[in-house]
Structure 1
Amino acid sequence: MDLKGRVREIDSRVQAACNRSNRKREDVEIIAVTKYVSLKTAKDAVEIGCKHIGENRWPDSEEKVNALSAKAQMHFIGHLQSKKVKHIVGRFPYVHSLDRMSLAEEIEKQAILKDRYMNCLIQVNVSGEESKYGISPDELFKFAENLLQFKHINVIGLMTMAPFEEDPEKTRPVFRELRKLRDYLNEKQIFDHKISHLSMGMSNDFEIAIEEGATFIRLGSKLVGKE
């Protein structure tokens, strides 16, 4: 199946998942993860309607950021080293992997220097896997309170990665828990605004994630391929 066909198929599956969960299609954004494809393929994806592009590493993503930023929203979705923050602020409007105070401090520092405000999602390791980054659910509320001191960081939601499961249904408790954590943050009014985004769901489990409230799903090879 070519790129257009894959995009149509994914969109159809997203719509079906929204229908099953009584959600509006416009409430779910697809992030095309382009780290394994060429610049040409990434450009083609944007031209046929992929308006959100996700990249994991710097400087590997520099060429695509420079070429695509005018036409697509760029999301940094990978683990972010503090020493790389100076390259990310001003190039990526969204960071999905805020998971420690030292990173928040560096984002704030660079945002002040560049007169920017950064949209950030707190990464939560809901599954508790040692191989995954993110703060624990028990740490979330204290961490969120500590972020209030950073005036150039705009927390817009939470992100998580579920374990890979042959049966995607087994990922549902992870996604459901992230939604509960977001709702609890809003209930406690930690921030002076409602946080709405849930970045969760990848190629193997995005439909389950949508049914549990995902607003950003991150799709790589299943959407854009591997070339």
Structure 2
Amino acid sequence: MSSHSIKKSVREIFQTLPKDVILVAASKTRSVEEVNEAIHRGVTIIGHNYVQEAEQMYPFVKDSVKWHLIGHLQRNKAKKASQIFDMIETIDSYKIALAVNQYCEEMNKVMPVLIEVNSGRESNKTGILPENAESLIRKISLLKHVHIQGLMTMGPRFGNPEDSRPYFKKTKALFDHLQQADIPQADFKYLSMGMSNSYKIAIEEGANMVRIGTRLFGKR
């Protein structure tokens, strides 16, 4: 996508986002030039699905931005992810949280994380089922080098954006419950929901962090 087109897309997206909603630029398969152009136009958070792809891009991107992992984290990538990212949005098991905690302890770092919830109960999606989320969160919250800061959910990537609304409602209800649950060492301030086709509905349902790629950079 041309720099002019990215400039126009970033401006249009920022115009549709309420001031309290955070934009994560989903940068899977995008070039360094495209990502740097988006940063130049005001993007401050880069999201990557794959640790290896982020590792390749990291040295060439302006260092003023934050990096979020927005794809599933495999245990064998936990060390590198702990080095690169400023937030991991996709923690969905104690095993993964423990690995991140271990590597962050070695680096004297505390990693902000979101717990990924599979609100749609889709067998092909990662994420903890809603009814199991609180017990997992209470367990992870005891780790010293990861800091739970909210929830993330995917929702359907394609199709009618309205189909995502029930999943977003369910995730927001869980988020509200956890805010009131008085879980020590956990802050429920970020609710990451919605992508290019569904982010406006996600915001209507309470999202304050959205992950946008195609609408920002154009089709892959």
Which residue is equivalent to 1:86? Answer: 79
Which residue is equivalent to 1:217? Answer: 210
Which residue is equivalent to 1:146? Answer: 139
1:3 to 2, 6, 27: 6
Please tell me the residue identity of whatever aligns with 2:15: S
Query: What is the count of residue pairs matched by the alignment?
Result: 217
Aligned ranges 1:58-73 → 2 under 5 Å: 58-68=51-61, 70-73=63-66
Instruction: State the distance in 1 between where 2:219 and 2:158 align.
Output: 21
Q: Secondary structure at the match of 2:114?
A: strand
The 3 A distance-change label for structure 1 pair 58 and 165 is closer
Aligned ranges 1:179-194 → 2 under 5 Å: 179-194=172-187
Identity value in percent: 34
Please tell me the residue identity of whatever aligns with 1:208: I
Which residue is equivalent to 1:99? Answer: 92
Please tell me the residue identity of whatever aligns with 1:10: I
Instruction: State the distance in 2 between where 1:194 and 1:118 align.
Output: 13
Q: What value does the CA root-mean-square deviation take over the aligned residues?
A: 1.5
Tell me how far 1:69 sits from its aligned partner.
Answer: 5.8
Which ranges of structure 2 fall in alignment gaps of 5 or more residues? none
Tell me how far 1:210 sits from its aligned partner.
Answer: 0.7
Which residue is equivalent to 2:195? Answer: 202
The 3 A distance-change label for structure 1 pair 148 and 192 is closer
Query: 1:156–1:197: 8 Å Cα contact kept in structure 2?
Result: yes
Tell me how far 1:67 sits from its aligned partner.
Answer: 2.6
Instruction: State the distance in 2 between where 1:181 and 1:98 align.
Output: 16
Instruction: State the distance in 2 between where 1:69 and 1:107 align.
Output: 25
Q: For structure 1, which segment, 170-179 or 186-195, has the greater mean C-alpha deviation from structure 2 after superposition?
A: 186-195
Q: Secondary structure at the match of 1:71?
A: coil
What TM-score do you get using the length of structure 2 for normalisation? Answer: 0.93
Which residue is equivalent to 1:17? Answer: none
Aligned ranges 1:39-188 → 2 under 5 Å: 39-68=32-61, 70-164=63-157, 166-188=159-181
Instruction: State the distance in 2 between where 1:39 and 1:202 align.
Output: 21
Please tell me the residue identity of whatever aligns with 2:169: R
Instruction: State the distance in 2 between where 1:139 and 1:26 align.
Output: 32
Q: Secondary structure at the match of 1:155?
A: strand
Instruction: State the distance in 2 between where 1:134 and 1:106 align.
Output: 17
Give deviations 1:108-166, integer Å, cap 9, x for gaps. 10010011000000000000000100000010111011112201111000000112453
